[in-house]
Chain A
Amino acid sequence: MRAIAETKSGSAHPTLILWLIIGWAGFFVFPWYGVEDSVFTFGWLFEGYPLDDDVAPVFFQGISGQKGWLLPHLIFLIGPIFALNRPRSDPLHAKILIICGALGFGWLIAQGFSIGIRGWNFGWQESLFGPLGDRQFGMGTGAMLVASAFLFILTQGIAARGAVNGDIFVVGAIGFVITIVAIFVFYPIFNMLTSAFVTQDNSYSISVFFEKFTDRRLWGLGCLQGGRCGAAWNSLVLAILVGMITTVLGLAFALVVTRTGFRFKRGLRALTVLPIITPPFVIGLAIILLFGLSGNVTRFVADTIGIAPTRWVYGMPGVLIAQVLAFTPIAFLVLIGVVEGVSPSMEEAAQTLRANRWETFRTVSLPLMRPGLANAFLLGFIESMADFGNPLVLGGNFDVLSTEIFFAIVGAQYDQGRAAVLALVLLAFTLGAFWAQRFWLGKKSYTTMTGKGDSGVHPLLPKGLAIPVYLVVGIWTIFTITIYTMIIYGSFVELWGVKNTLTFKHYITAFSIDFTQEGVRKYTGSAWDSFWTTLQIAAISAPLTAAVGLVTAYLLTRQNFAGKNSFEFGTMLSFAIPGTVIGVSYILAFNVPPLEITGTGVILVVSFIFRNMPVGVRAGIASMSQLDKSLDESSLTLGANSWQTFLNVILPLLKPAILAALVYSFVRAMTAISAVIFLVSAEYNMATSYIIGRVENNDYGLAIAYSTSLIIVMLAAVGLLQLLVGRTNIGRRHSQPSSKN
């Protein structure tokens, strides 16, 4: 017979037991504090385990008389045992779990923030409790396991009280996402906010903030009189221009692909994908090769027309061109979905109502694309604001916020406060754009998927529109092809503009391999270190990003719970936070206990997860909202729980979204620079930051050769992912069951 209510509402609590065991393992077995290497190398077992302070589990830390503040965790790990023999419906069961989980978690956080590497972290604690003869470092595996145990004990308590229909999996997932977003998005941002108010002698003051905020270098308007403008104005104007131009170009591409008889659509699509797998600043490099002082075009013009070479491309024009080229494909990808999604039957309806093609486009198609246009603009705007590589390569005297932030942190002036203030300005701009977009879209419904089979066809573009659209696309295409030819060609040129002989020198410097006599290979090329690190970090963070993103999307589309709107906002927030800001806030927040992960690979992985998660969420939401909810519900009424439903029904139907999320986060982890540049260390250097370093040393050949190799590796990786994820066969799709027997 069917396993029903008795087991589930009864007193067997397998999930609870599991988490208790994990908690105990964290308490008794694993080192509480972070160890030098990864825990999985188990080197810590030989460094005085279990008694040495650095590697001891909390239990031994506590009983050896020191660090007594760690022992109370045990109380809250023992408490839940008393809930085990009570049925879930017993209010006491829920109460015990909630109390133990909440207090345990709270205590863990409180002690972590209170006691740091110099004893008490806050002056008032010292005066209240007297000096503390001890100190502690960043939390490690043990602490993490115990914290997770507390978190899930708490969520099981909340579920037992009936939240979200008492669903353990859903409540746990919500709790988990909230916690990690709080730790890795809200906490660093908040922390950065406060550090903008910190004075030289470590006290807080508003005036410091205002002094830095009103700096002329930030808001000056000198460029109107031929001087230099402040970085804030520069960034803003640049971002608005980039947002508008990329949106228009992206729309033009989308229209050509969906609404014209253009014959090389596939080629066009491939061309627009290229810039996505290109580290953004590579385009900047190519532009220097074309238009720089010794660039091809510059010299050609100088030789033929006799115009003396100038540095015009260094500054706003160069950055603008590079960013437009780099970000148009993103706009295209957003808009293609929207343009295709406009229901053909609506357009056909307009035509039968006597609108001609142009009127149909203007009054029906275009307004229905509004959300897509707004999204494309927003993406272009944010990408431009956050872009770090192109302004660094091409900016010249044109200061923008992202590079200013970088120099405030790594430059001679080392000024955390200034970096924080600049980051806040940047954040204010992007959040402002985010709100403006919401406001513009308003509450109107733009639902274009009717859910019914839509067999209509999109009308072709009106003539008057098709010609300019073709023109724009043509120019862009030629330009892009030129740029990529330059990149490949440039990687073989000895020294651009000076010595134009072809050579493999750059590839050899970067990727040489020595075979010793015994046949042992040695990676002697200078790029190998950063290359392997990059591959490893990207391979680790891609599946994690996709997982977190899709679970979040599942919660947002399929579950109802209190505070869902704020939950959505929280998870999407990191989307509006430029990478530069993430980078700064991470080093400010995570180079001191309780979470001391600066300089490790973990901080890179974490930053990628939270930078790229919103895309996974969006992709997941988009495809999940096309799966009828009755699929999940029928699975539930057939006796599967929500985890089994997620695994058996939703995931297999989401393969396209999974693939999109995986590819996106993998590629992003390989090409990102804006956050990475702050977070790399000697041990964990990433390809992009290594390349930027070469560029700064004017070693363009090597930089371009390395970038070209990256592009090829990514192409291969994307293909491989496609194979791995596979496809789910659902046969030919009836959107409406036919009514014949």
Chain B
Amino acid sequence: MLNKNSKAASVSFHNVSKVYGNPTTGVRAVDDVSINIEAGTLVTLLGPSGCGKTTTLRMIAGLEMPTSGKVMIGDMDVTNLPATDRDVSMVFQSYALFPHMSVLENVSYGLKFSGFKKSEIQDRALAGLNLVGLDGYGDRLPSELSGGQQQRVAVARALVLEPQVLLFDEPLSNLDAKLRRRVREEIREIQQNLGLTVVYVTHDQEEALAVSDRIIVMNNAVIAQDGTPRDLYDAPANRFVADFIGEANILDCQIVSIEGNQALVELDGYNVRLPPRDNQVGPALLGVRPNRIVIGKPGAANSLAGEVVRVTYVGNHLELTIKTNAGELFATSDDVDAPLESGTKVSVTFAKNAPVLLKN
């Protein structure tokens, strides 16, 4: 068996930028990013396609060199160290299994270059296969495995090296939905059992929320927010994060007054008290999750007056679109038997602590 990894190391970026092509006119894929990933944690890079996640990951691997800034692994400056010389392994989106080598040869590949004895290489490779549940598949060629099995071979191949940092680039995107959930749980379990430092790239927010200790949300080459899954979901920093993680209604509102840690916020006559989060008195943006919208009888006190314009039944809940003077709201209701239909007049309030003022 593989032991708990004592080598897991932290990763940090200090003002790292990466420009593809001409330094002045080229594509700025990563722009002045500083991050710090603690040893033994699983951190996700999350963001829409093209925001620079893969580039960030490849700079950790040493497959791309930063245009400026400093990359550290543990307490070593690796900025100019090529991939071969870094103690980092990566699981590729395409798995990148060597098609001409058997599963066992694939898993042994990195061990061969790490100065192990022949017998130890074999032992470790077999232990790696065992860890991912592929005992007995060693002699097959990658092309003779299913997608999920190929993915596990790729994981085993990276794991057996007990790297300081293990990288995953969208490892689940070639799997179907059911399998995706299972494999991500397996990855998380192995990570926690072995105490690995894992950097995990995905564009799927649900996947990120499920596996991560911490999530770094990226947008347009910069970091949009960095925090625990709970932080990001409950207190998104800005409109982009609120929208990208889960769904959110983003509404224009007015801050009437701020007293200490409480701001009085008004939306078309509906008043709520919230932490101001760096906002000043005046117009502001309010985010609220669809499942935290409470629908009541029309005419209730301190509420928004609205009218249901669309109802969709999706099995375990209802999806509602409600028109109010503060804007159109998207809400979900678990009460699938509620007598709501298009044209019903309702009142709308927000659950306690549900809405947040977005930072500007």
Enumerate chain A interface residues (CB-CB to B < 8 A). Answer: 1-5, 8-9, 89, 162, 165-167, 628, 630-631, 633-642, 644, 648-649, 652-653, 728-734, 736-741
Contact = CB atoms under 8 A, between A and B. Distances in A.
A167 B141 contact: no
Given A2-B161, A739-B176, A741-B149, A636 B82 contact: yes
A728 B100 CA distance: 6
Nearest to A642: B84
A1 B111 CA distance: 9
A648 B174 CA distance: 26
Contacts of B161: 2, 638-639
Contacts of A167: 82
B121 interface: no
A649 B113 CA distance: 13
Interface string B136-173: 00000111101111110010011001110001000000
Interface of A is mostly: loop
A496 B81 CA distance: 73
Contact of A739 (B85, B90, B93, B174): B174
A696 to B, nearest CB: 51
A177 B241 CA distance: 51
A395 B89 CA distance: 65
Given A1-B114, A637-B83, A729-B141, 6 more contacts: A2-B114, A9-B81, A630-B92, A641-B84, A733-B143, A740-B176
A740 B147 CA distance: 6
Given A2-B115, A739-B176, A9 B85 contact: yes
Nearest to A740: B146
B330 interface: no
Nearest to A636: B83
Contact of A631 (B89, B96, B158): B96
B13 interface: no
B234 interface: no
A738 B146 contact: yes
A634 to B, nearest CB: 4
In the A-B complex, the 7 residue pairs with the closest CB atoms: A638-B110, A737-B147, A731-B141, A731-B143, A730-B99, A630-B96, A741-B148
A628 B100 contact: no
B113 A640 contact: yes
Interface residues on B, range: 35 or more
Contact of B87 (A2, A166, A642, A728): A2
Contacts of A8: 84-85
Given A633-B96, A636-B84, A731 B90 contact: no
B1 interface: no
Interface of B: 7, 61-63, 65, 76, 78, 80-90, 92-96, 98-100, 109-110, 112-115, 141-144, 146-151, 154, 157-158, 161-163, 167, 174-176, 179
Nearest to B176: A739
Contacts of A649: 98
Contacts of B146: 737-741
15 contacts: A2-B162, A3-B114, A9-B85, A165-B83, A637-B63, A638-B109, A638-B161, A728-B100, A729-B141, A733-B143, A734-B143, A737-B150, A737-B174, A739-B148, A739-B175
B109 A653 contact: no
A89 to B, nearest CB: 8
A507 to B, nearest CB: 45
B109 A730 contact: no
B100 A730 contact: yes
Contacts of B83: 165, 633, 636-637
Nearest to A637: B90
A732 to B, nearest CB: 5
Contacts of B115: 2-3
B299 to A, nearest CB: 52
A644 to B, nearest CB: 6
Contacts of B81: 5, 9
Given A633-B96, A637-B61, A730 B141 contact: yes
A638 B113 contact: yes
Nearest to A641: B84
A607 to B, nearest CB: 35
A638 B157 contact: yes
Given A637-B88, A738-B147, A165 B109 contact: no
Contact of B92 (A165, A633, A736, A739): A633
Nearest to A633: B63
Contacts of B98: 631, 635, 648-649, 653
B252 to A, nearest CB: 43
Given A730-B141, A737-B95, A739-B175, A635 B109 contact: yes
B84 A634 contact: no
B86 A5 contact: yes
A2 B65 CA distance: 22
A5 B85 contact: yes
Nearest to B107: A638
B148 A730 contact: no
Contacts of A166: 80, 82
A630 B141 CA distance: 18
A86 B151 CA distance: 43
Contacts of A741: 146-149, 179
A648 B109 contact: yes
A4 B86 contact: yes
Given A3-B113, A4-B85, A739-B147, A634 B80 contact: no
